[in-house]
Amino acid sequence: MNQPRPRAVGIDLGTTFSAVACLDDLGRPQTLNNGEGDKLTPSVVFFEESEIVVGKEAVKAISTAAAQVAECAKRDLGNRMYEKVLGGRQYPPEALEAWVLNKLRIDAEHQIGAFDKVVITVPAYFDEVRRKATQDAGYMAGFDVMDIINEPTAAAIAFGFQQGGEHAIAAADGMCRILVYDLGGGTFDVTVMEISRDQFVTLATDGDVRLGGRDWDQRLVDYVAEEFIRRCGVDPREDPNTEGRLWRECEDTKRTLSARSKANVACDYKGQAVRLEITRQMFEEMTRDLLDRTAFTTRQTLQAAGLQWSDIDRVLLVGGSTRMPAVCEMLQSITGKELDRSVSPDEAVAHGAAIHAGLLLERHHGQAPRVTIKNVNSHSLGVVARDSATQRQRNAILIPRNTSLPVAAKRIFKTHKASQKSILVQIVEGESASPDDCSQIGKCSVRELPPGLPADTPIEVGFRYAENGRLTVTVSCAGKELCHEIQRDNSLTQEQLASWRQYISGR
Ligand code: ADP
Ligand code: MG
């Protein structure tokens, strides 16, 4: 019997908002509405007494039960636990992300029927640990995560698709160089890519996992709170629910200021009320340094790609925060170019993920790949070594950042003493010479070295980044592969993952 082909589904799991898209019968990406009828679902989880609520309703709870609301869990991926205690316990951030994904899955299934194969997007700047955590979140939500894909790459694919592939995007030489500037709610990503009909090649990428619209909101919150203190003598931020309500007001004011030159924001606390008029100019002044940080990173990324502005054909805007007029003015002035607004800043990433899912399904069914995607690693990969002169630990970089993927590297370690039983390799990602300032991927331990090895026996450790930035490690001695494992500091074990999957998704 002919099995129907699974639907190609892509998920943009955003720090503040998430979206799901799937390919229609003609292969065009369509955003699916959630149960509330919206295209975007707030990535917010509310731990009500008897129920876990995700999305818009959870956002409302920020004004009344802020202590039980988890938001921006994506910023904490890679940590063992989400920063806040919720309903008396702490959760791993990937479990909170799994609840968000689970809601997206259930709502999508109402429209397209049951499915489990998906592609999930990650910021290009995510390190390996956060990439794994995202895949784990997908698993816990009941999915079979076929792949993760970088958000700017997904946006570029959606852009290429929309331009009609072969005809319009390419310059005379068949190649188009684009800069993707993605400013969302919680993260900032900038990526330089070379795209053609069938190739999406990342040249350089950089970003900040802790910079986004939320920081713009916070400036407004702080401004209003300071003004409240000046007039009324109390700080409305001391009560989490008032602070939550104030944040929702300020986020709304910020959106209004993208369309109008002034807006009002009100704050009441302990029987006193303050109403302030904020002009766009005031708002832009209080957030100038945040915008400057993105400008700095943008210039640096162009430089890392070895290019100049005249080499860039298009500047693509992605992420809700690019609706702020100041963002466009800044980009126009540093690039000297018209900006491309042809893709929807909210949907492009999910659309690109759905297209990638479609291509993967085709490949599973034996069709030749139509598109190749080439990424770079966003962080240098290193191992912790001891400096023989100073005896200090240092990060010995094996694969520098912005290297084209997939890539492999190896390093020879030597046993210290005769009949050594095990070796331990500590793996880090980051640019700093000090391992403490890097992201800890974990330790690779080889416990069963062949017996009776003399001292100074070479043990070869190989590292390989796949196209999607995930790492695998191999260890061999005298050409024979040895058993090993990466012991990850901040990841859940396979048993924990399975039990979370059962608990969250019932699958
Ligand atoms: P993420 O992918 O990080 O979750 P999104 O790309 O969905 O983020 O963007 C969400 C951010 O965009 C939020 O901080 C939101 O306040 C902001 N945003 C959305 N619309 C506007 C607007 N009209 N003006 C300013 N900011 C906006
Ligand atoms: Mg986003």
- State the pLDDT at residue 174: 75
Testing ligand 1's pocket by substitution, the residue of 13, 15, 17, 211 carrying the most ligand atoms inside 8 A of its CB is: 17
SS (H, E, C) 323-363: HCHHHHHHHHHHHCCCCECCCCCCCHHHHHHHHHHHHHHHH
C-alpha dihedral (122, 127, 133, 134), degrees to nearest 10: 10
Catalytic: 103?
Answer: no
Residue of 97, 147, 182, 347 with catalytic role: 182
Catalytic: 182?
Answer: yes
- The C-alpha atoms of residue 402 and residue 305 are separated, in whole angstroms, by 9
For the domain spanning 381-483, the CATH number is 2.60.34.10
Within 8 A by CB and 6+ apart from 256, the residues are 263
Burial class (CB in 10 A: 0-12, 13-18, 19+), 493: exposed
- State the pLDDT at residue 448: 79
Nearest partner of 15 among 317, 297, 319, judged by Cα:
319
Over the chain, what is the mean pLDDT? Answer: 93
- State the pLDDT at residue 173: 58
pLDDT band for position 170 (50/70/90)? very low
| Alpha carbon distances (Å) from 374 to 169, 202, 203, 312, 429 | 18, 6, 9, 18, 20
pLDDT band for position 3 (50/70/90)? low
- State the pLDDT at residue 190: 95
Nearest partner of 314 among 195, 198, 208, judged by Cα:
195
- State the pLDDT at residue 101: 98
- State the pLDDT at residue 485: 78
C-alpha R_g of the chain: 24
Residue 167 has pLDDT above 50, yes or no: no
Percent of the chain with pLDDT over 90: 82
- State the pLDDT at residue 171: 47
Residue 426 has pLDDT above 60, yes or no: yes
pLDDT (tens digit, 9 = 90+) per residue, 446-459? 887 889 999 999 99
| pTM for this prediction | 0.94
Query: Mean pLDDT across the stretch 82-93?
Result: 94
pLDDT (tens digit, 9 = 90+) per residue, 468-494? 999 999 889 888 888 777 889 888 999
- State the pLDDT at residue 405: 95
Could you list which residues have their CB under 5 Å from ion ligand 2? 14, 184
Amino acid in the structure at residue 68? Q
Which superfamily does 213-286 belong to?
Answer: ATPase, substrate binding domain, subdomain 4 (3.90.640.10)
**Structural domain boundaries of the chain?**
213-286, 381-483
| Alpha carbon distances (Å) from 218 to 237, 250, 286, 325, 365 | 11, 8, 10, 18, 48
Write the DSSP string, 89-111: B---HHHHHHHHHHHHHHHHHHH
Residue 84 has pLDDT above 60, yes or no: yes
Atom of ligand 1 nearest to the CA of 254: 25
Inter-residue contact 42 to 62 (CB < 8 Å): no
Residue 27: HSE in the Cβ half-sphere, 13 Å Cα cutoff: 9
| Alpha carbon distances (Å) from 156 to 55, 150, 197, 449 | 27, 10, 11, 47
Residue of 74, 103, 132, 254 with catalytic role: 74
Angle formed by the axes of helices 325-335 and 288-304, nearest 10°: 40
Q: Is the N-terminal amide bond of 406 cis, ω within 30° of 0?
A: yes
Within 8 A by CB and 6+ apart from 486, the residues are 427, 441, 442, 443, 444, 471, 473
- The percent of the chain in helix, strand and coil, each rounded to the nearest 5, is 35, 30, 35
**Ligand 1 binding residues, C-beta < 6 A:** 14-17, 184-187, 212-214, 251, 254-255, 258, 319-321, 323-324, 346
pLDDT (tens digit, 9 = 90+) per residue, 172-214? 457 899 999 999 999 899 999 999 888 899 999 999 888 999 9
Residue owning tokens 């993105």: 294
pLDDT band for position 2 (50/70/90)? low
Residue of 128, 147, 151, 189 with catalytic role: 151
Amino acid in the structure at residue 320? G
Inter-residue contact 355 to 29 (CB < 8 Å): yes
- The C-alpha atoms of residue 157 and residue 28 are separated, in whole angstroms, by 12
pLDDT (tens digit, 9 = 90+) per residue, 394-414? 999 999 999 999 999 999 988
pLDDT (tens digit, 9 = 90+) per residue, 29-42? 999 999 999 999 99
